[in-house]
Structure 1
Amino acid sequence: MVKRTRYSEYKNAYANYEFELSEDGVLLMRCHTNGGSLVWDWKAHDEMADAFADVAGDREIKVLIHTGTGENYNADWGLLPDGRPPEEPLYQAMPGERGLHKLDEKAWYNRNLQFNVLSVDVPMISAVNGPCNIHSEVPLMGDIVLASEDAWFQDVSHFPRGMVPGDGQHVIWPYLVGANRGRYLLLTGKKLTAQEALDWGAVAEVHPKDTLLERAWELAHEIAKRPPLVLRYTRQLFTHPLKRAFLDDLERGTALETYAQRGFFPFGGGMEPLDRAWDAKPWSS
């Protein structure tokens, strides 16, 4: 359960999440790192769960626009300014009891992230402003999903890197595009272009990058004209079957992912697929 919040309490609470509230009750939530594209690290991961809890608890807003900043929606993994990873990959990063508890904490944040997004009680418009290869389930849980022409979707952080497809990827993709296409995308690490995502039914509209947010605001202002209870109950109606899907499968996928990570956990480096067998040595290049 989320708690009751107000815009003034959370608007400046997060380093990676910027908020703007319009006069007609449309809340813009923009992901960023220092004003540029979001760099996905554990702090950003954990605080996204908390940020969505705050948004979900705000009963004054009427519509949520969720988007990124700059070139990517969410396709950087802790890279340095020159694009290099900050450290070499390490694949035995979670040994012993300390590792077990760290993995459990990350799984806890992950479950909260998905369910807090689904707890947002007003229509949610996702404007995917560029490549998204980590936690794509977040924007895809929007009621209207828009994508820029240069956007693409990919689950590179799981099976291609030697992990069980978790983090809600195993729920959202088969739910949206069908079991066969969903499994294919997760197993191959396919980059699904914005146009393919439109053809597959994962997004509703594709727009030039410079007009994407304008279209999101246009839709949001129109939706916000409806009565508050209509907005809330419509979102509840739309999210109910998705909540059931996540209740049925999220915990199991997260548990299997976490259990498998006890033997092989790809930490550090960039977001590249494995370039050799998982047990090959040495891993440093």
Structure 2
Amino acid sequence: MGTTNLADYQDKYDMVHFEREDGILTMRLHSGDGPFMWTMPDHLKLLSAFADVAGDEQNEVVIFTGTGDVFSGPLPTAPELGARIRPDSTPREWERRYWEATRLELNLLDIGVPVICAVNGPAVRHAELVFLCDIVLASETAEFQDSVHFHDHIVPGDGCHVVYQEIMGIRRGTYFLMTGEIISAQAAHNLGMVNEVLPPDALMLRALELARYIRQRPVLVRRFTKILLSDKLRTAMHQRLGHGLALESLAYLDGADAVS
């Protein structure tokens, strides 16, 4: 802690808006101030943003949310399916991807204060980031899908295999990843993935209410509770993330010829 401050990163990222009041930092994903649509460069930007947030000791609680009516997209279109299978990729390229995928997940877990995720709409790309947060609130309009791995001819090895089996159980998590299943906010609540489901206009109000409640606890109570209660996920990620990425890369390098 203590290596960054808000002025260092507030205007650093073109896809994250930061705002802090009374120690509560809101980080809002966006694309051109509209709903957030993932691009490949965003992976590197967001892992860096998580590191900056983790390094700012003035952040006492974090609210992580999206913009408009989508948390993270887009859904893949039919021509996209399998389009990213590149048999000409090299192990050196995958070394870089390994580092990026590892740090994206672990940098979020390394934020040393409670993180509340306010899911304002569908989360269909990198939705596993939602479930690495400590408290998950969802709009009634939210839904969850892993749209870019098995569904798109890619092994779900960059953290998805860890997160979904941990929060859903082995049987449900496996089914979710292998079928491209879309889970509604209410179904996610019934499965214990989401803590509360709220009307869209009540989502951020509730997130702020919880953030203010958490901020009233003594500083070390907040920080050490976060460390203690995120330890199981952090341990699972350290144990299994590398194996998943290795298998993902091998299948990817096998190439489009293997698709049948």
Query: Taking structure 1 as reference, are residues 227 and 164 closer, same or farther at Cα in structure 2, changes over 3 Å only?
Result: same
Query: Taking structure 1 as reference, are residues 147 and 87 closer, same or farther at Cα in structure 2, changes over 3 Å only?
Result: closer
Contact 1:168–1:250 (CA under 8 A) maintained in structure 2: yes
Q: Deviations over 1:22-77 (max 9, x none)?
A: 0x200000000000011100111211111001111111211000000012101216
Please state whether the residue corresponding to 1:28 is helix, strand or coil: strand
Query: Taking structure 1 as reference, are residues 174 and 89 closer, same or farther at Cα in structure 2, changes over 3 Å only?
Result: closer
- Alpha-carbon distance in structure 1 between the residues aligned to 2:121 and 2:50: 21
Contact 2:81–2:153 (CA under 8 A) maintained in structure 1: no
Identity, in percent, stands at: 39
Contact 1:135–1:167 (CA under 8 A) maintained in structure 2: no
1:95 matched to 2:88: yes
Gaps of 5+ in 1: 266-276, 281-285
TM-score by structure 2 length?
0.93
1:110 matched to 2:90: no
Correspondence for 1:52: 50
2:69 to 59, 68, 71: 71
Please state whether the residue corresponding to 1:120 is helix, strand or coil: coil
Structure with the higher fraction of residues in helix conformation: 2
Indicate the RMSD between aligned Cα atoms, in angstroms: 2.1
1:175 to 160, 166, 177: 166
Please state whether the residue corresponding to 1:47 is helix, strand or coil: helix
Gaps of 5+ in 2: none
For 1:123-138, list aligned pairs within 5 A.
Answer: 123-138=114-129
Query: Taking structure 1 as reference, are residues 163 and 237 closer, same or farther at Cα in structure 2, changes over 3 Å only?
Result: same
Correspondence for 1:10: 9
Correspondence for 1:197: 188
Query: Taking structure 1 as reference, are residues 121 and 157 closer, same or farther at Cα in structure 2, changes over 3 Å only?
Result: same
* Structure 1 counterpart of 2:208, one-letter code: W
Contact 1:160–1:187 (CA under 8 A) maintained in structure 2: yes
Contact 1:56–1:119 (CA under 8 A) maintained in structure 2: yes
Correspondence for 1:20: 19
* Structure 2 counterpart of 1:10, one-letter code: Y
Aligned residues: 260
- Alpha-carbon distance in structure 2 between the residues aligned to 1:59 and 1:91: 39
TM-score by structure 1 length?
0.85
- Alpha-carbon distance in structure 2 between the residues aligned to 1:245 and 1:206: 27
